């Protein structure tokens, strides 16, 4: 898509959100420093880290929602 178009902005927003997730996985959840042998073990480690990242985001959202209700 052409730069500055609506489609370009949508793709760019998705890219930045993916980059933020990758950064969190690398820095906070030690995906950068894998010490396992084999691609399947590495993939499993990254998937588990992604699950932890999602669970953390859901927990934060749930606690914020309960504070707004109270």
Establish if 55 belongs to a structural domain. Answer: yes
Establish if 34 belongs to a structural domain. Answer: yes
Nearest to 56 by CA among 17, 32, 25: 25
Share of the chain above pLDDT 70, in %: 99
pLDDT class of 32 with cuts at 50, 70, 90:
confident
Report the 10 Å Cβ neighbour count for 21: 14
> By the 8 A CB rule, do 32 and 26 touch?
yes
Instruction: Evaluate if residue 47 carries a pLDDT over 80.
Output: yes
Establish if 42 belongs to a structural domain. Answer: yes
User: Domain limits at 34?
Assistant: 6-69
pTM of model > 0.75: no
The pLDDT of residue 67: 82
Establish if 1 belongs to a structural domain. Answer: no
Domain count, the chain: 1
The mean pLDDT value of the chain amounts to 88
């Amino acid at each position: 898509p052409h730069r500055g178009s609506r489609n370009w902005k949508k793709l760019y927003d998705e890219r930045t959100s993916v980059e933020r997730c990758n950064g969190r996985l690398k820095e906070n959840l030690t995906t950068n420093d894998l010490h396992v042998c084999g691609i399947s073990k590495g993939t499993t480690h990254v998937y588990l880290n992604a699950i932890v990242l999602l669970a953390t985001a859901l927990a934060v959202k749930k606690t914020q929602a309960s504070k707004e209700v109270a």
